Structure 1
Amino acid sequence: AETTAPRAIRHWVMRAIAAAEIVGAPNQVVELLTGELVSNAVVHGPEGGSVRVRLTVHGFLVRVEVTDEGTGRPTVLH
């Protein structure tokens, strides 16, 4: 979990989904949301821990999963 991780992962995801012919605004939205998730994992995960990203693309359905080694659970705020 390094401070450079969000940028690196955003670019990796952007290239991967572009290769699946998902371009334009949908590509940019997935890139932005991925960066936010990875940033949260880096900031709120344990220091020195790792962050894992899993990308699945089925047609035009994109799923990005981000996990860290923290034991806490996300809390939805209104």
Structure 2
Amino acid sequence: MIKHSLVHAKIPQYAQRPDRGHSIFSHIKHMLLLWKQNWQTRRQLARLSAEDLRDIGLSEAQRQEELNKSFWEP
């Protein structure tokens, strides 16, 4: 059985909301990194087999719902 980082992944520092004191550039960087993470995670989800989905407790319908989101949607 393959362990996937989708289920037990910790939220990386860049995916957390920046402090109010940060500049607009920090906010833009934060958003770009979050969008990249969304895209990569959904790409990994698309590659999972039916067995892998069962292992992590997701249905095909749940996978499709997530894959139908745009990269900027949480």
- Tell me the TM-score normalised to structure 2 length: 0.34
Q: Which has the higher strand share?
A: 1
Q: Which has the higher helix share?
A: 2
**Bigger Rg over Cα:** 2
